[in-house]
Structure 1
Amino acid sequence: LIIVVVFVPLFTLESMEGKMFKPLALTICFALIGSLVATLTIVPVLGSIMVKRTTGGDGDDNFLIRSIHRLYMPMLAAAVRGRWITIAVAAAVMVVSFSVLPKIGTEFLPPLNEGAVAINVVRLPTASIKGSVLQTSEIEKRLLAKFPEVETVVSKTGRAEIAEDPMGPEQNDIFVMLKPDYESKFGRSREEMVQAIDRELSVFPGIKPAFSQPIALRVNELISGIKSDVAIKIFGDDIEVLRTTAEKIAPILSGIEGASDVKIEQISGFSQIELHMNRQAMARHMINIEAINLLVKTAIGGSVATTVFEGQKRFDVQVRFPLENRRDIDVIEQMLVPSPAGYNVPLGELVTIEEGEVPAQISREDSTRRLIVECNVRGRDMGSFVAEAQQLLASIENDLPEGYRLVWGGQFENQQRAMKRLKMVVPAAILLIFLMLFCSLNSFKSAILILVNLPFALIGGILAIYFLDINLSVAASVGFIALLGVAVENGLVLVSFFDQLRAGGKKVYEAVIEACRLRVRPLMMTTLTTLAGLLPMLYASGSGSEIQQPLVAVIFGGLISSLCVTLIILPVLYILFNRDKAIVEY
């Protein structure tokens, strides 16, 4: 039940991390409940049938157990004799392991290797769909010709009819499918492939490519609306202030180590023709604004003239001026506006026509205008990248006018949300575990002793991800949560037996030595079998193994340190916490 409580924090995770790790927590909880039922019902029956009666002496132990006893018991005796030295060494190791935490990178989730590269290409908003398709076809041919690692290339231009993601014809998603085992066959990693493709696409003018992976691209967009790893959201009312701030932020981000595909959300580059009314001329010719608007709407935009029926289908017939009569400003100025006085007036005499640039789009979030500066992070962890970026952008953020603010988004936002939730829920779960330990042991001192043992058990997990160069992610945090449950379980097995032997009349030292001698076998066997089961997952290389490896590495290293702590440090702490007197029961 205590291990079930340990996994309660996973049920509080939200969004993507909740969808990934809630099934894991449910599986473990149901497995533990089923194991408990089987242990209380089936195992005793099978044991009574299959287990032979023995005298229970040490002579019944096999060679492995006798070897373990010969190695372990002298170590335990030495640790107990030099108990303060043992505690000092353990504390020093714990301090050293926790001191490497700032050197461990942080990220939301480890990047998956999907065996494909997704390229999001953005052009000017005025790009036509025909031009986009032609250029994309050239990109496809060039990638297939230049890179033997590429198996096929598929591209998508604009938005499909039933899609929910807004994309104009100026945007393309190009999916580059790589051949199986391309790294071993051609000797080039995915990161090197991305850099090579980026250099190859630099010959195409007017495009801004951003690199990701097909699933990661869509997941990022669906969760946060952003296609990159990190995004800086600038909120405010004036679009020009937002644009100016973004143009200051982008070069600073580009100068940070690890930043790639830095881009500003495209809001400019869209031109339109503006008509400024000359009201004096309009009054002189007795022409109102409605007449001018009707002419411009019909001539340039088009108006529905009639409806054509084909069986049960109906089609609106739209009419407008031929292209040569609406192509540029000079031609538009020659359009004739009828006057109530009975003559026609050229449109150029009634209005001033100019071509101006306007925002291609205005994005809003939380009912406030928003502009995004986004980038991907390559070659370093996301946490240190964002920390450095926040330090460099502090002056810009402080100089923002009142009512304007910067918000960090993308995967970093997901990471902060998940870690914040775990920081609140994990301490509550540990408090609940303490209450359950107190009720189980009837001893405040023994319950505290087991919890004091927990930081020592984390040593192995911290050192494992440090030496394996694994970033601290939500997956690794889940591994630490599972590790707490294992450490509590091992500590409970040993401390409850200490108390049981002391209640039977043994002194503290005798109870500790006897309990360790009798419990070293189950503790060793459960740990070794768990390690054997985790070993294939630690070296797995299939799909999704990138998510498993941080979790398994933490548990693998933590199990080793937890076993050492349980068998060496915990007995020493128990002797220091207790004296030879009856256990006080509450």
Structure 2
Amino acid sequence: SQVIVKIFGPDLKTLERLGSEVHSAMREVAGVVDDYVEPQVMIPQLRITPNDFELSRHGLRKGEVLELLETALQGKVLSQVLEGERSFDLVIRGEDKLRDNPETIGNLLLPIPSGGLIPLKSVAEIAVYPGPTSISHENSRRRLFVLCNVAGRDLGSAVNEIQARIEEQVEFPEGYAWVMGGQYEQLLESGRTMTWLFLFALLLMGVLLAAEFRSFALAAIVLMNVPQAVIGAVIALLVTGTTLNMGALVGFVALCGIASRNGILLITHWVTLIRDEGEEFTPAMILRGCKERLVPVLMTALTTNLGMVPLVLAEGQPGKEILYPVAIVISGGLTTSTILDFTITPAAACLYGRKAILRLAKRRTEGLDDEHMLEAESLEVEGLSAK
């Protein structure tokens, strides 16, 4: 189930009462479906309660009585019998009718130290009570589940309202507690993991970009594409009514690299224009670089979005629960990132990237000259060898 309320406590009847109250509070929340309390199947159970006073009066110990009952009801292995190469346990126990009838069990005779026999019912209370077939435990504590699913609204807001209703309407005695679980708990854990992965991806990209460009300013300009993409992804989620689930979080992580690519292409092209074509760092050069990169970037973005169309149209189809939000996030983020990249990135480059871009172009020009010198020396050596 998507939502599980776990109730902990020592007494089963109190757990059942609290479970019923929690269930009533849960049903008042809009969007709650498939709600129920974990069923407790009751069966007749035999309960034998020794009377300490009567036991001491006859000189009996509780352990002796329990051992005799265990032998009579469950059996006790006395020895083993060999038949050829196989061995069988020799078990002594009472007849089947002894275990089925409380009156018969009460007439079971117990030997006493003073001599003679007394019936079990004279030193113990024997009765049949209804009891659960199983008692669930978690962390060594008895627990009861109240379960439900959520439809027609996002899971997070529904869980918050369920928690508020429970806190308002249900009073838990001392020794009893409750926690939220189910797929919601897993989603929170996955969300924390994906958040750390998202931050780690940004950090790693920043380090790699700074190492490549040798400039924190250029790395920051490239990473500005990430919030631009996040804006579009959030808008796409809101427009389609898609909740922030595991698939959407995966889409955000993937969007980091996809959105940053356009900024890298623009910066490297500006460097190429300065290095290879002798352009000066001017707004005209920035504009020229944007125009020349516009068609390739638009083709890449359009191709990616067209590839996402089948998944975007697959809302509600089985097997697409993860891929659908991934496609929504990537499509929305890539759209805004592509549009804003040709407005914000050039402006940021003009304001903060001039020195870094010129320094990068100069370094790559020197590197290119070194390569040409090495090639020339290599050709000269080859010519001498040929002579």
Interval of TM-score (by shorter of Structure 1 and Structure 2): 0.7 to 0.9
Which digits, 9 at most, give the CA deviation of each residue in 1:403-431, with x for residues without a partner? 75433221111111111122233223313
Computing the radius of gyration from Cα coordinates, the structure with the larger value is: 2
Q: Where in structure 2 are the equivalents of 1:301-316 lying within 5 Å? A: 301-304=74-77, 307=80, 309-316=82-89
Q: Does the CA contact (< 8 Å) of 2:6 and 2:145 recur in 1?
A: yes
Partner residue, 2:370: none
In structure 2, relative to structure 1, the CA distance for the partners of 1:536 and 1:283 (3 Å cut) is closer
Partner residue, 2:324: 549
Out of 31, 44, 66, the position equivalent to 1:258 is 31
Q: Where in structure 2 are the equivalents of 1:27-106 lying within 5 Å? A: none
In structure 2, relative to structure 1, the CA distance for the partners of 1:434 and 1:294 (3 Å cut) is closer
Partner residue, 1:515: 289
Number of aligned positions between the proteins: 357
CA distance in 2, matches of 1:450, 1:334: 88
Partner residue, 1:167: none
Q: Where in structure 2 are the equivalents of 1:197-276 lying within 5 Å? A: 228-235=1-8, 242-265=15-38, 269=42, 271-276=44-49
Any unmatched runs of 5+ in structure 2? 361-387
Asked if residue 336 in structure 1 is aligned to residue 106 in structure 2, the reply is: no
Q: Where in structure 2 are the equivalents of 1:543-582 lying within 5 Å? A: 544-575=319-350, 577=352
Q: Does the CA contact (< 8 Å) of 1:442 and 1:585 recur in 2?
A: no
Partner residue, 1:158: none
CA distance in 2, matches of 1:482, 1:582: 28
User: SS of 2:178's equivalent?
Assistant: strand
Partner residue, 1:526: 300
Aligned-pair CA distance for 1:564: 1.7
CA distance in 2, matches of 1:277, 1:439: 79
CA distance in 2, matches of 1:306, 1:356: 35
Aligned-pair CA distance for 1:525: 2.5
Aligned-pair CA distance for 1:490: 0.6
In structure 2, relative to structure 1, the CA distance for the partners of 1:310 and 1:499 (3 Å cut) is same
Which digits, 9 at most, give the CA deviation of each residue in 1:451-488, with x for residues without a partner? 23322223333333333333221111111221221111
CA distance in 1, matches of 2:226, 2:118: 89
In structure 2, relative to structure 1, the CA distance for the partners of 1:295 and 1:236 (3 Å cut) is closer
Q: Identity of aligned pairs, percent? A: 34
Out of 153, 159, 173, the position equivalent to 1:380 is 153
What is the identity, as a one-letter code, of the residue corresponding to 2:334?
Answer: L
In structure 2, relative to structure 1, the CA distance for the partners of 1:312 and 1:257 (3 Å cut) is farther
User: SS of 2:322's equivalent?
Assistant: helix
Q: Where in structure 2 are the equivalents of 1:117-516 lying within 5 Å? A: 228-235=1-8, 242-265=15-38, 269=42, 271-282=44-55, 285=58, 287-289=60-62, 292-304=65-77, 307=80, 309-316=82-89, 318-339=91-112, 343-356=116-129, 360-395=133-168, 400=172, 405-501=177-273, 504-516=278-290
Aligned-pair CA distance for 1:514: 1.0
Q: Does the CA contact (< 8 Å) of 1:262 and 1:373 recur in 2?
A: yes
Aligned-pair CA distance for 1:491: 1.0
CA distance in 2, matches of 1:289, 1:438: 78
CA distance in 2, matches of 1:347, 1:385: 57
In structure 2, relative to structure 1, the CA distance for the partners of 1:321 and 1:364 (3 Å cut) is closer
Q: Does the CA contact (< 8 Å) of 2:80 and 2:88 recur in 1?
A: yes
Which digits, 9 at most, give the CA deviation of each residue in 1:151-183, with x for residues without a partner? xxxxxxxxxxxxxxxxxxxxxxxxxxxxxxxxx
Aligned-pair CA distance for 1:354: 3.0
CA distance in 2, matches of 1:233, 1:582: 57
What is the identity, as a one-letter code, of the residue corresponding to 1:490?
Answer: N
Q: Does the CA contact (< 8 Å) of 2:271 and 2:358 recur in 1?
A: no
Q: Does the CA contact (< 8 Å) of 2:9 and 2:142 recur in 1?
A: yes
What is the identity, as a one-letter code, of the residue corresponding to 1:426?
Answer: F
CA distance in 2, matches of 1:329, 1:233: 36
In structure 2, relative to structure 1, the CA distance for the partners of 1:315 and 1:382 (3 Å cut) is farther
Q: Does the CA contact (< 8 Å) of 1:337 and 1:346 recur in 2?
A: yes
CA distance in 2, matches of 1:284, 1:448: 88
Tell me the TM-score normalised to structure 2 length: 0.76
Partner residue, 2:379: none
User: SS of 1:545's equivalent?
Assistant: coil
Q: Does the CA contact (< 8 Å) of 1:233 and 1:371 recur in 2?
A: yes
CA distance in 2, matches of 1:490, 1:583: 16
CA distance in 2, matches of 1:288, 1:405: 38
Aligned-pair CA distance for 1:524: 2.2
RMSD, matched Cα? 3.6
CA distance in 2, matches of 1:337, 1:277: 13
In structure 2, relative to structure 1, the CA distance for the partners of 1:374 and 1:542 (3 Å cut) is closer
In structure 2, relative to structure 1, the CA distance for the partners of 1:508 and 1:271 (3 Å cut) is farther
Q: Does the CA contact (< 8 Å) of 2:25 and 2:169 recur in 1?
A: no
